[in-house]
Structure 1
Amino acid sequence: MATAAMTFARPLSPSERWFWIIDQISPANCSGRVRLYGRLPLERLERAAAALVAEYPLLRVGVRDTAGGPRFGGLAESRLPVRRVVSADPEAWLRELDAEMVEGFEVGMGLARVVDVVRHPDTPAEQHDIILTISHVIVDGRSLVAALRKLIEFADPPAAVEGRGDAAVSPGRLPIPPSDELIPVGARGFWRYAYTTLYDQLAALALRPRRLRGTRPVPLGHRRTRIVHRVLEAEAVAGLTSDCRRAGVTVHGALAAAVARAVAERAGPEAAGVVGIGSPVDFRDALVPQPDRDELGIYAPVLSGFVRYGPGMSLWDMARSVNRQVARGVRQRRHLATVAGMRFGTPRSVKSGWRIVELIDRRAPWNVSVTNLGRVEFPDRVGEWELSGLLLAASNSCVSALTVAITTAHREMQFGFCYVDGMLTGREAEAFADRVLGELTARPDSLVEQVSAR
């Protein structure tokens, strides 16, 4: 089907160019996984992948490094490759997800791929772990999950019968401007960007926040991400939500506070201090015009937070601090100013980008972020299939040590502790994850612990 989107081409925006630069140094990928119970022939999943490509212009382009800078350009063959793995091992999907974090994209050849990990094929117990991976150059966590949901819906047998799973009749979307160009005028300008940058730097100088201390340094170009997976079951999620409501804090505040406590524990024996935590904030609603909720793109800039810990500081005290700082940053539109101002600070090339990346790696006030998508609109059933286990994972690339990615769907909360291999050992990352979930569940007034690793 010929659409205007098939000829889509433009320079990368400053925020896209930033992720392209760090991806050239170390992979910058986003992955989503969902478990599907039921029969799913490979050809049906491949048709759904073709329909997803027809839906989104950004899945029909690659990135070319030109004399004028990196540009999106149409691919000779627009396809979303699907790789199937059959294994009786219940942990095979997690190994495949680990591999997706490590394997970078040949960005000139495409920016997305699918892995289907199958257990018990051709039996009544057949199940699939569907993993969709897209380069961080064109997505954030929320838009990645939206694309994963559409992939499953396109694969639904009635959709295929009705033609909705057929790429040849998909109406597709027209390209929209990148988020950088949708920032409202009042949040733009060099001085707003300079104020936001200076604010974080002065706060860091005054507070001297602690970062996650790694076991050993890992060179930027050698950093690869691995994942520790944890699940908070339905009753424990309800207990956490209820406790947050009684304490007057958001669930994100409690999650970030628990992570900050675990970072502080690793930082050293000091009884009190400050931990730096990054909180991505979805800003779609603030853009003009507002993009569709299912649009692909980078719509979640990070706000820096400085969380105090020490004797007498409860989890709820720390959570309130997180909430106040995020609310103040949004009210001041610092997240908007940061993205709008990237045109002043984003390097033009990988060569010049190395120096900026090295500087950030040494001096950033935080190297841990908490990416909490909250309750995600993802169906429990599609057609005859039951769905569960919605999980998000993100490569740390070269400017972070740990990303804690959290989704709440299917009556459970899924955690992906995405850590730089070597900066933490596998055992240390497991212990860190258990420490965080212990903080969230082992409270005197909480429900019985229901934490599982599965």
Structure 2
Amino acid sequence: MGVSTTAAQHVVRPLSPSERWFWIIDRISPSNCTARVRVHGWLTPERLDRAGAALVAEYPLLRVGVEHGDGFDPRFVRLREPRIPVRRVVAAGGDAWRPEVDAEIREPFDTASGMARLVDIAHGVGTPDEFHDVVLTVSHVIVDGRSAMSLLRKVIEYAAEEVEPVSRAAVPPADDLIPAGARGFWRYLYTTLYDQVVALVRRPRLLSGATQVPLPERLTRVVHRKLDARELAALVADCRTAGVTVHGALAGAVALAIGKMVRPSGSGVTGIGSPVDFRHSLTPAPSVDELGIYAPVITNFVRFGGRETLWSAARSVNRQVHRGVRQRRHLATVAGMRYGTPRSLESGWRLVELIDRRAPWNVSVTNLGRIDFPDRVGEWRTSDLTFAAGNSCVSAVTIAITTAHGETHIEFCYVEGALSADGAERFADLVVTTLAERPDPARV
């Protein structure tokens, strides 16, 4: 399937401030988003090629590369022959997707040539038990987690049926859709200073390992954990009784686990980054399956140790996220990036190094919530939906959480060296154990 140019919309413009920020980060260390799903049944490379071509035909941002001149003016430009390459791996074991996800997160894009690729990890080809782990990797310059999930769903739907894609109109970047009331330099300054002032007062403890890894050498590896249907249902019921959100419980468990890692017998405060999807707050609001960067971070300062429980930590997270959204700090952060995004790669390096030293958190909990991904697509059954993201140079661990098909998958994406492999496994176990050993919410 080729790309129809008659009705196609094209994006030819400078990168927005937030896009430019992720492009700068990506030039220092890969900033990739990876979505994966298991497809049970017969799937050929030709079908995935067709699906990739359909995606390119539908989405203008998949038909661009990034060019920049000596004056550091990165721009989206139209590619002559845009495509999503497909790589096939014939696997012998059901866990073969794990090293492939690691490899995809670590492999940088040549953003001048395109920013998406597919991997088909095929198992038992030609047998009744054939299944495929389909991995879609897209640059964070043009997507966030939810955008990547929307693309993966469309890959499977396009591969299942020979349907002509609908060419979308190009939409403005999120920076240009912030409501007027959340814009302005002073709002941005307040938002920027707020977390720093709170951090000076509360002195959060950060998750750290034995090694300080240089920025260009920071590569991500992934540790996988899962909550099955029974565990997930029990957690949801307990959260409802305790009056907290599942995200609050997940982030709270992460905060308590950090405390057990950094001060096993003590107490203190740690910082957690909570990305918040703000599509519905934009004007006009983009569609739920539009590509872009729509999840700015709100910082949560959470107590650990002493008499803190999962439920007290979860309530703290919920209060802080709610207050940040009510004050529109996440909107002001993105709107104000026009004031704070570096104007050169050199100044970008300096800012990234400053953030690396001074940020009040280095662990983020990217909880995508329940993903609308069908259990069956055409003749296939789907399962095991996961998401992972490269940490690049602004955090030590990104915890990427997806819930679909009655299960929750938790990917602990950590900077190799900042945590050892054993340390990352231990941290993941502490988070899951903290969730599992939660107190009775009716008695707290």
In the TM superposition, what whole-angstrom CA distance separates every residue of 1:325-369 from its partner, at most 9, and x where no partner exists? 000000000000000000000001211100000000000000000
Please give the alpha-carbon distance, in whole angstroms, between the structure 1 residues aligned to 2:370 and 2:9.
34
2:415 to 413, 420, 430: 420
Please give the alpha-carbon distance, in whole angstroms, between the structure 1 residues aligned to 2:344 and 2:234.
49
1:384 to 379, 395, 403: 379
Residue 198 of structure 1 and its aligned partner are, at CA, apart by: 1.2
Query: Amino acid of the residue matched to residue 29 of structure 2?
Result: S
Query: Amino acid of the residue matched to residue 441 of structure 1?
Result: A
Please name the residue that 2:22 is paired with. 19
Query: Amino acid of the residue matched to residue 47 of structure 1?
Result: R
Please name the residue that 1:449 is paired with. none
Query: Amino acid of the residue matched to residue 362 of structure 1?
Result: R
- Contact 2:56 2:83 (8 Å CA) reproduced: yes
Change in CA separation of 1:85 and 1:408 when aligned onto 2, cut-off 3 Å: same
Please give the alpha-carbon distance, in whole angstroms, between the structure 2 residues aligned to 1:369 and 1:3.
43
Please name the residue that 2:53 is paired with. 50
Please name the residue that 1:309 is paired with. 304
Please name the residue that 1:125 is paired with. 129
Q: Does 1:98 align with 2:93?
A: no
1:230 to 219, 222, 225: 225
Change in CA separation of 1:384 and 1:4 when aligned onto 2, cut-off 3 Å: closer
Please name the residue that 2:270 is paired with. 275
- Contact 1:4 1:174 (8 Å CA) reproduced: no
Please give the alpha-carbon distance, in whole angstroms, between the structure 1 residues aligned to 2:258 and 2:45.
43
Q: Percent identity?
A: 63
Please give the alpha-carbon distance, in whole angstroms, between the structure 2 residues aligned to 1:315 and 1:73.
48
| Secondary structure of residue in 2 paired with 1:69 | coil
Please name the residue that 2:393 is paired with. 398
> How do residues 65-144 of structure 1 correspond to structure 2 at under 5 angstroms?
65-66=68-69, 67=71, 69-144=73-148
1:431 to 421, 426, 434: 426
Please name the residue that 1:175 is paired with. 170
Please name the residue that 1:153 is paired with. 157
Residue 443 of structure 1 and its aligned partner are, at CA, apart by: 3.1
Please name the residue that 2:197 is paired with. 202
Please name the residue that 2:33 is paired with. 30
Please give the alpha-carbon distance, in whole angstroms, between the structure 1 residues aligned to 2:408 and 2:264.
31
In the TM superposition, what whole-angstrom CA distance separates every residue of 1:225-260 from its partner, at most 9, and x where no partner exists? 000011100000000000101111000000001101
- Contact 2:256 2:305 (8 Å CA) reproduced: no
Residue 269 of structure 1 and its aligned partner are, at CA, apart by: 4.3
Tell me the C-alpha RMSD between the 2 structures: 1.1
Please give the alpha-carbon distance, in whole angstroms, between the structure 1 residues aligned to 2:230 and 2:257.
23
Please name the residue that 1:64 is paired with. 67
Query: Amino acid of the residue matched to residue 318 of structure 1?
Result: A
Change in CA separation of 1:3 and 1:197 when aligned onto 2, cut-off 3 Å: farther
Change in CA separation of 1:387 and 1:413 when aligned onto 2, cut-off 3 Å: same
Please name the residue that 2:322 is paired with. 327
Query: Amino acid of the residue matched to residue 55 of structure 2?
Result: L
Please give the alpha-carbon distance, in whole angstroms, between the structure 2 residues aligned to 1:355 and 1:296.
29
Unpaired runs of 5+ in structure 1? Answer: 447-454
In the TM superposition, what whole-angstrom CA distance separates every residue of 1:164-198 from its partner, at most 9, and x where no partner exists? 1xxxx433111110000000000000000001111
Please name the residue that 1:450 is paired with. none
- Contact 1:6 1:60 (8 Å CA) reproduced: no
Please give the alpha-carbon distance, in whole angstroms, between the structure 2 residues aligned to 1:59 and 1:429.
34
Please name the residue that 2:346 is paired with. 351
Residue 307 of structure 1 and its aligned partner are, at CA, apart by: 0.2
Please give the alpha-carbon distance, in whole angstroms, between the structure 2 residues aligned to 1:79 and 1:217.
38
TM (normalized to structure 1)?
Answer: 0.95
- Contact 1:6 1:74 (8 Å CA) reproduced: no
TM (normalized to structure 2)?
Answer: 0.97
- Contact 2:275 2:295 (8 Å CA) reproduced: yes
Change in CA separation of 1:139 and 1:210 when aligned onto 2, cut-off 3 Å: same
| Secondary structure of residue in 1 paired with 2:125 | coil
- Contact 2:8 2:57 (8 Å CA) reproduced: no
Shifted more, 246-255 versus 208-217: the winner is 208-217
In the TM superposition, what whole-angstrom CA distance separates every residue of 1:196-238 from its partner, at most 9, and x where no partner exists? 1111110010000111112211000100000001110000000
Query: Amino acid of the residue matched to residue 61 of structure 1?
Result: V
Please give the alpha-carbon distance, in whole angstroms, between the structure 2 residues aligned to 1:37 and 1:421.
32
| Secondary structure of residue in 2 paired with 1:229 | strand
In the TM superposition, what whole-angstrom CA distance separates every residue of 1:33-80 from its partner, at most 9, and x where no partner exists? 000000011101110110011111101101111235100001121000
Residue 8 of structure 1 and its aligned partner are, at CA, apart by: 2.2
Please give the alpha-carbon distance, in whole angstroms, between the structure 2 residues aligned to 1:383 and 1:287.
34
Query: Amino acid of the residue matched to residue 95 of structure 2?
Result: E
- Contact 1:113 1:134 (8 Å CA) reproduced: yes
Residue 262 of structure 1 and its aligned partner are, at CA, apart by: 1.1
Please give the alpha-carbon distance, in whole angstroms, between the structure 2 residues aligned to 1:270 and 1:185.
48
- Contact 1:280 1:371 (8 Å CA) reproduced: yes
| Secondary structure of residue in 1 paired with 2:74 | strand
Please give the alpha-carbon distance, in whole angstroms, between the structure 1 residues aligned to 2:305 and 2:431.
16
Please name the residue that 2:331 is paired with. 336
Unpaired runs of 5+ in structure 2? Answer: none
Residue 445 of structure 1 and its aligned partner are, at CA, apart by: 4.2
Shifted more, 57-66 versus 332-341: the winner is 57-66
Residue 444 of structure 1 and its aligned partner are, at CA, apart by: 5.1
Change in CA separation of 1:364 and 1:48 when aligned onto 2, cut-off 3 Å: same
